[in-house]
């Protein structure tokens, strides 16, 4: 494998403990629109954009009137009630400081730009990043590869020169479509078996930091 010169970082569930909050915000917005899917069903869809989540959860198009209303309300609920309380996983800043020796660090998130910027500030890691990409800047969110391609473009690197750190099968699918290899973590709610498409799986940022010297980031960096 060529030398790694950059890392694409997912945010939700990877660096910030936010996946449950996203699911609850979606459920509250759906409930206001008289839909009542089970928490477990919506929770398993967190990590993909609303364009795909709404059809999968409710069988409605995201660009329908009801779909747009639910999405808009979800944003309001998340920003007002959940986002201010979010916290990064332990050792996130220390991990990113270590990763700086590998190369560029760029976040590629399924979140909207405003949410992304607020979460980076809450996590105290904005100063460690070269660039960010969000769902606001691309046509299709994960599991489509648009945000990964946008990150590669900002880095001016090829897919073989980059690793992606993520937490969901949707990260693995999006990265795989453009030839980027993935290191995954279980802290987002998926098991190692469910993340089998990754080249390595760790429990959380603290676990990866503790074993960093034997990780793909150090081995190929």
Domain hosting 155: range is 6-17+87-219
How far is Cα 64 from Cα 81, in angstroms, rounded to an integer? 25
pLDDT digit string (tens) for 70-129?
999 999 999 999 999 999 999 999 999 999 999 999 999 877 788 889 999 999 999 999
Six-digit token string for 84: 């201010």
Indicate if 136 and 181 belong to the same structural domain. Answer: yes
Indicate if 80 and 54 belong to the same structural domain. Answer: yes
Rounded alpha-carbon distances, angstroms, from residue 61 to 48, 75, 78, 88, 159: 15, 17, 21, 32, 32
Say how many domains are in the chain: 2
DSSP β-ladder status, 181-185 and 162-166? parallel
Domain end position, chosen among 36, 59, 84: 84
How far is Cα 147 from Cα 8, in angstroms, rounded to an integer? 10
> pLDDT at residue 220 above 90?
no
Contact 166, 184 (CB under 8 A): yes
pLDDT digit string (tens) for 30-74?
999 999 999 999 999 999 988 999 999 999 999 999 999 999 999
Indicate if 29 and 78 belong to the same structural domain. Answer: yes
Q: What is the pLDDT of residue 221?
A: 67
Residue 174's pLDDT band (cuts 50, 70, 90): very high
Q: What is the pLDDT of residue 178?
A: 97
How far is Cα 214 from Cα 75, in angstroms, rounded to an integer? 39
The percent of residues in the chain predicted with pLDDT above 70, rounded, is: 100
Q: What is the pLDDT of residue 34?
A: 98
Six-digit token string for 143: 């599991």
How far is Cα 184 from Cα 198, in angstroms, rounded to an integer? 6
pLDDT digit string (tens) for 121-149?
999 999 999 999 877 788 888 899 999 99
Six-digit token string for 110: 């399924």
């Amino acid at each position: 494998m060529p030398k790694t010169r950059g890392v694409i970082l997912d945010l939700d569930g990877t660096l910030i403990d936010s996946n449950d909050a996203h699911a609850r915000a979606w459920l509250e917005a759906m409930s206001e629109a008289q839909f009542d899917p089970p928490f477990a069903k919506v929770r398993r869809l967190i990590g993909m954009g609303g364009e795909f989540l709404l059809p999968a959860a409710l069988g409605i198009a995201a660009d329908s009137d009801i779909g747009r209303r639910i999405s808009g309300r979800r944003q309001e609920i998340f920003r007002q009630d959940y986002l201010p309380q979010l916290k990064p996983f332990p050792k996130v800043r220390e991990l990113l400081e270590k990763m700086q020796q590998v190369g560029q660090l760029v976040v590629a998130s399924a979140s909207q730009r405003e949410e992304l910027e607020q979460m980076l500030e809450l996590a105290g890691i904005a100063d460690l990043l070269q660039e960010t990409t969000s769902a606001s800047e691309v046509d299709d969110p994960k599991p489509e590869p648009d945000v990964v391609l946008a990150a590669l473009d900002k880095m001016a690197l090829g897919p073989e020169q980059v690793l992606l750190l993520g937490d969901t099968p949707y990260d693995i699918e999006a990265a795989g479509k453009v030839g980027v290899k993935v290191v995954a973590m279980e802290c987002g709610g998926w098991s190692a078996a469910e993340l089998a498409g990754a080249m390595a799986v760790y429990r959380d940022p603290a676990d990866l930091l503790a074993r960093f010297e034997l990780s793909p980031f150090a081995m190929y960096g």
